A and B are shown apart, each in its own frame.
Chain A
Amino acid sequence: MDWICIWESLKDAFEYWDIDFEKQAGNILPGVEAIVYSGTSMMNVLLTGTGKKVGVITQRGDEDVFIHERSRQTWTGYSYQDVLHHVTHHHNRPLVPRRLVKGVTGRIDMFSMEAIPLYEHEVERAVEELLDEGVEAIAVSLWYSYLNPMHELRVSEIAQEVMQRRGQQVPVYLSSQLCPITREQPRLNTLVLHASSAEPGREQLFGIESKLQGSGYRYPLQIVLAHGGVTNIRYPRLYEGCFSGPIGGLLGVRYLEQEMGIGNWVCSDMGGTSFDVGLIMSGEPVMLREVVINRRLFNIATLLMDTIGAGTGMYVTIDPITRRITVGPDSAGADPGPVSYDMGNEVPTVMDCMLIMGILNPDNYLGGKLKLNREKALKAIKERCADVLGVDPYYIAEGVYKLINSTMKEHIRAVLYARGFSPADYCLLSYGGAGPMHVAGYTEGLPFKGVATLPYAAAFSSFGCAAVDISHRYQKSTTVMIHHGADDAFKLMMGQLMLNPGWEELEKLAQADFVAEGLPWEQANVRQIAYVRYGSQMDDIEVPSPVSRINSAEDMDKLIAAFEDLYVKVYAGVAKHPQAGYQIFELGLTATIPKVKPKLVKRPLEGKDPPQAAIKGEREVYFNSEWHKAVIYDMDQIRPGNEIEGIAVVEAPATTFFIPPGRRARMDEWLLIWLT
């Protein structure tokens, strides 16, 4: 995520209208209403362990937290089969090394009272030791701090004192401020994500905003959040934006679905570092409040999207002991990038393999703006991999293609089968810069209803972000307990003491954010939310409140009735249990403003044969251990109704669609290209 990429993307986009953005930026940007960032860079930093060096202060006795994890993290995200098969279970690489995790004595209890005083000398020692280790940030997560932050606040004060004494300064992040949600391990994971990956990302976002504003853009830069909303990059809980890239695609599929009427979709997004899979069921994305990313739990409200590290930037190496071909988990990123970028990296990547196989065109990368050095890529694969094993470099390249496709295929299988779903009920859409290049491989053998990609696959996540309303979402803890048979006065009191002030506070926050972003608050569609459950239940339901305030007992009854209506729809009437009373421990609020969205046009179908102008020529492509003569097509010239037989390569400026031998592609009237 750097400024050059974004600027280049804008230039590319305006080229379609024959506008030289470089020259016209000063005229164009002052008229732009909103620029929304959506990307996966922050998450990639976490997945590849390249973020800031974070030290953790946790509860004394909890220092092994990243070694033993939640036991669930040894199998979560697995397919049904591997969940059952114990010997496949294993721990993740610790998010933070054990020596950088320090425990301090002290305890807040479930009543939010101090049960054990904070041992400040232990805090002081912990901070000293972490600073000695050279940490770049300190993350503090103590149990029940979301109920009472006093110990975390004191830890922060002590840390500041120690740093002042030492003449050092690193940021200190508190879970009570950034992620005040129950369950200690997902909360700590989320805090580490924020400290190690999101905050460094914010610095880059400010850089982008500054560049844009320097060219006349008048508003703050915005970012898509994991729950599908859009907000200002100054938003304190920026970790919610770490998954905005894949979410954008999901929102785009939802918008496509609304136009086309295909209810069930598997959305697959492959980029340089990660591969994301999400579901649209009956037209709606699935919302989670505790999310699993790369086999770890995070407390982030998000649209369902399962991610693994698998992308074209991943390094290809030979394990020196086992002599196994290893793909990833580390990635070359955009800088220095693959060997063929010629920017200093000498370790081959997946993309280098695609290049020497002839699937990628060295003269068409980013529309020809970046010339790829094929010879250098071939030399690196030969010397670092093929010669080590005594094999042909093309054997290595194709092996890597198969390995990464297999990894992604198993991931799709896990996402579907872990929920008991069958591919036969779903269509799959492939997007992201690298999706079309690999889609034939990663869907092979999975009996989807249909497999499709689009000409604008590389920009599809951006399309999705453009297709969403401006929306902010806010959450807050509260304690509402209405016992069975409570009288009207009690219901009113609970509403006026515990619900109304909470909603008012959230509205004030929303209004301030809207004003800061230059949005008309008076046009905002504000929706109050309560998370309601029966007494003794462990889980609640998100209930859009039918009233904006509780001004009478009847208003509370209406809220409860809305809960029970929803509850019965989800769980059946027999599961109602009103005799246990009702509880609300969390409030929410969404504020939305409609925004202009792209219009999809249904086009007339033309003949099967692509026009002559679409054929760019022929190229040798290595596949199934032999060289084939593949026809090369220009994506921009393919018309609705055209069909292309494999082996073929369809080139667009930002993506390459590979059709293997025996497969066929057909563009439909919505410009979707179906692979059969």
Chain B
Amino acid sequence: MSERIGIGEGGKTIRQMMEENERLYLETGCYAGITEPHLLKEDPVKGELFHSRIMASLIAGRETTRMVSGSPFVREVAELCLGIYTPEGDNIAQSTGIQIHIKLMGDNIQWMINKNYEEEVGINDGDFFIANEPVISGMHAADVYDILPIFWEDELIGWVSTVIMEMDIGAVSPGLMPTANVERGTDGLKFCCERIGSNDKLNRDFEHKIEICLDMSDIFLLDRKGAIAANIRVREDIKRIIGEFGLDYYKRATRELIEEERRNQIVRIKQRMVPGRYRGVVPAEFPMADQPVSWIPAKRDTIRLIPIQMDVLPSAGLVLDFEGIGEWGWHPFNGTPQAVWGGVSIVTVQTLAYDGRGNLGSLLPIEVKEPPIDSLFNPSQIKKLATSTPWAPLLDVFGMWTHLLGIAFYLRGFREETFNYRSSAGWQMAGYDQMGNKRPLLAAGTGYFGPGACGVCDGVDCGGWLATPEVDMGSAEVWELFVPQMELSHRLEPYSVGYGRFRSGLAVPTVVMIHRSQQLVGSGALGTASDGIIPNLGQFGGYPGGRRNNLLLRYDNLPELMEKRQPLLHEVGHPADLKDRFPGQVFDVGLIPVPTEIYEGDMLLSVSTAAGGLGDPIERDPAWITADMDNGLTTEWQASNIYCVKARYDEEEKRWKVDEVATRELREAKRKERLSRGVPVKEWWQRYRQRLMDRDMDDKILEMYQSSMRLSEAFTREFKDFWAMPDDLNL
């Protein structure tokens, strides 16, 4: 027997194993060179049993984390996920939850392998590692990974990793997704795959550090302990599984699961999509001019263009390309190529690979072309740049990808698979909670989003969120234990809708009153960066969803209102006339509110957006519209002006009824009006070309195009060709 050099199979180092794995994949096109997954084929029942054992362990592990955790994110809305990995860091299986991290957790492991942790840091049975630096891997700093190696005797045979989204990472501005940080040092506490425990014990010095640095140290530590307890449980389960199935079977079958899934994914793409090129574009706004940042050049508002192109290849591969994306900026919304993979993962498992066998194999047929160097999603040259909140543009980008996938499914006849996502959220706060503790706080409460219309029915009201398939808004009575607020409304907001023959789901806005806090600062919203310029997610004639509004409302005399039993604000209604309806001051604080002092009794509003509708709204069945009106989900104005349905309220029967004759006339008139507005494409093109030549546009839009052109010759060429611009003319 040869003397062991590395901790991998047969005395190899795990870096050697990883390199060999990559070589085999390149040579054969099959994961780990497995051209024939015979083990799973020869005895499929045994294979099924093996997979279900691993899944059972991961799901039970996830429940362990939920029970131990101190965070409502974990307990109430399950913002966590567990995955099991090969020694090379490739995902074999994962629990339910935020499945963004299939590849990201593995990328952390592979970073450790590439940095030669095996020799320079040491990887031992019983070690705990922690990571949350998106430059290594991850979506944003709030996602904290706990990683544990699994040894069988003295051989490393895999890893288990848990990810939890934390409420507090100690950033310079309030919240878990800070918005007033522009340099990496202000993102909050960062961990670069650091060892925080050994021999199954958490290091006491790590606990001291957290207790000193974080306002919510107890919750952060309990989350670590929950994650580590789950990891240990899974590790021990895996040892039991190996005891039952044998080590050789385990090693081979885990790799066959990945290869089998790669093949399954190709079949799904072939079955459900039409080959071709699908394109969309997202304009992302980064309003930083008024943010209190110390790095003065950061104080400017910018817009960046993010084109997204999906090629469905005849070979059933998918290629995503961001050619034409604009440049990075001094703001926290920069992403990394790894973060882009997070979006790819979560959309993939919700649209294609949802049969419970999702793993790295689901992603292997997908190629993501590396975004250009120095672009918003690849700011590699700027080492100190903030990358804490890339969700803002990424939510829109991957909402757009669901839209493109939906078109591809629809064209193939899978109408019921068509839908899309759009997301936004509300305020964040920092200050003193109702118990007198200073801490970052989230005011999103239980507000939630409306996903887009499906190809055969309306979207699910308050039931969709791109980041996790297990959408849940939690309980107000639990949220209010943590945040000095009272939720005053859970009403579905009619104006959040994306109109269409099938409408989007409606959103529930955040409507909270600040309660029992000595001092608070409200600031930047987490979520999307596209509420100023809404990306068109309406499908086949459907409209995009509504605009998000962030408002701060201050009653003139709240005690008097209550004394006189006058109405408080429980319904948002149309934001345009809110000023007339609200007995006090209304401040529109913009897309990403700058830090603002807020007081007891103040109300924070954030109307979440819904995604797009599908089909022409004037083809919507009038009976569905009156049914929505009966439930307060569609207003009379919307019925008449958007859906062109004339309805009257029957006082006796207490329900809305359609006036069929008036409706027919209204719809006919709308069709005629549309025709009268229409112009030939050529005419439209000439008019807009002239505007371009005259630079007749907002400075920020002009700079947006300039930014994309600075990075991409191909984009510049296509843009100029389309608009027939002279070669020597630059915008």
Contact = CB atoms under 8 A, between A and B. Distances in A.
B417 interface: yes
A70 B225 CA distance: 28
Given A80-B356, A143-B477, A419-B56, A90 B66 contact: no
A537 B508 contact: no
A472 interface: no
B709 to A, nearest CB: 37
Interface string A114-155: 011101110000000000000000000001100000000000
Interface in B311-354: 349-351, 354
Contacts of A79: 356
A98 interface: yes
Given A85-B350, A184-B475, A574-B228, A447 B45 contact: yes
A71 B70 contact: no
Interface string A224-236: 0000000000000
A573 B229 CA distance: 8
B229 A68 contact: no
B356 A574 contact: no
A539 B354 contact: no
A107 B601 CA distance: 13
A89 B460 contact: yes
Nearest to A65: B490
Interface in A553-581: 570-577, 579-580
Interface string B46-69: 001100110111111000101111
Contacts of B631: 64, 67, 98
B534 interface: no
Interface stretch (B2-10, B384-392, B560-568): B560-568
Nearest to B76: A538
B471 A71 contact: yes
Across the A-B interface, give the 7 residue pairs with the lowest CB-CB distance, nearest first: A420-B56, A61-B489, A538-B75, A422-B52, A420-B59, A61-B570, A84-B354
Interface string B439-464: 00000000010010010000011111
A535 B515 CA distance: 23
Interface string A418-456: 111110100000000000000000000001000000000
A160 interface: no
Interface string A47-84: 00000000000001111110110111011000111111
A75 B470 contact: yes
Given A422-B56, A534-B222, A537-B69, A183 B491 contact: no
Nearest to A574: B228
A87 B417 contact: yes
A110 to B, nearest CB: 5
B354 A81 contact: yes
B200 interface: yes
A185 B76 CA distance: 13
B478 interface: yes
A574 B229 CA distance: 6
B74 interface: yes
A224 B228 CA distance: 40
Contacts of B229: 571-572, 574-575
Contacts of B461: 67-68, 91
Contacts of B24: none
A575 B225 contact: yes
B56 A571 contact: no
B124 interface: no
A89 B460 CA distance: 7
Contacts of B630: 98-99
Nearest to B69: A538
Interface of A: 60-65, 67-68, 70-72, 74-75, 79-87, 89-91, 98-99, 103, 105, 107, 109-111, 115-117, 119-121, 143-144, 182-185, 417-422, 424, 447, 534-539, 570-577, 579-580
A71 B76 CA distance: 12
Interface stretch (B282-290, B295-303, B480-488, B699-707): B480-488
Contacts of B53: 422
B629 to A, nearest CB: 11
Contacts of B454: 87
Contacts of A84: 96, 99, 349-350, 354, 356, 358, 469
Given A110-B481, A117-B565, A539-B75, A87 B416 contact: yes
10 contacts: A61-B571, A84-B96, A109-B480, A110-B434, A111-B434, A116-B568, A424-B48, A539-B75, A572-B228, A572-B229
Given A71-B471, A75-B470, A84-B349, A424 B486 contact: no
A121 B463 CA distance: 34
Nearest to B355: A81
Nearest to A74: B463
Interface centre among B70, B99, B207, by most A CB within 10 Å? B70
A64 B491 contact: yes
Nearest to A538: B75
B463 A577 contact: no
Nearest to B227: A575
A614 B708 CA distance: 85
B460 A74 contact: yes
Contacts of B22: none
A80 B565 contact: no
B623 to A, nearest CB: 12
B329 to A, nearest CB: 32
B472 to A, nearest CB: 4
Interface centre among A61, A62, A83, A84, by most B CB within 10 Å? A84
Contacts of B70: 534, 536-538, 580
B233 interface: yes
B71 interface: yes
A112 to B, nearest CB: 12
Contact of B490 (A64, A72, A571): A64
B477 A184 contact: yes
A8 B480 CA distance: 53
Contact of A98 (B75, B480, B632): B632
B52 A420 contact: yes
Contact of A539 (B67, B218, B489): B67
Interface centre among A65, A70, A87, A421, by most B CB within 10 Å? A87
B4 to A, nearest CB: 28
Contact of A421 (B56, B472, B477): B56
Given A68-B492, A109-B516, A110-B481, A538 B71 contact: yes
Contact of A61 (B99, B222, B349, B488): B488
B499 interface: no
Contacts of A538: 69-72, 74-76, 478
Given A84-B350, A86-B350, A536-B218, A422 B477 contact: no
Contacts of B490: 61-62, 64-65, 68
Contact of B473 (A62, A71, A107, A120): A71
Contacts of A61: 487-491, 511, 570-571
Contacts of A103: 570
Interface in B12-61: 45, 48-49, 52-53, 55-60
A109 B454 CA distance: 39
Given A84-B96, A539-B75, A71 B49 contact: no
A143 B476 contact: yes
A463 B405 CA distance: 54
A90 B264 CA distance: 27
A3 B339 CA distance: 65
A63 B570 CA distance: 10
A117 B67 CA distance: 36
B562 A117 contact: yes
A68 B508 contact: yes
A577 B70 CA distance: 11
Contacts of A86: 350-351, 419, 451, 464, 469
A71 B221 contact: no
A538 B69 CA distance: 7
A482 B575 CA distance: 47
B475 A71 contact: no
Given A98-B631, A107-B486, A537-B70, 5 more contacts: A61-B490, A109-B516, A110-B480, A538-B70, A539-B75
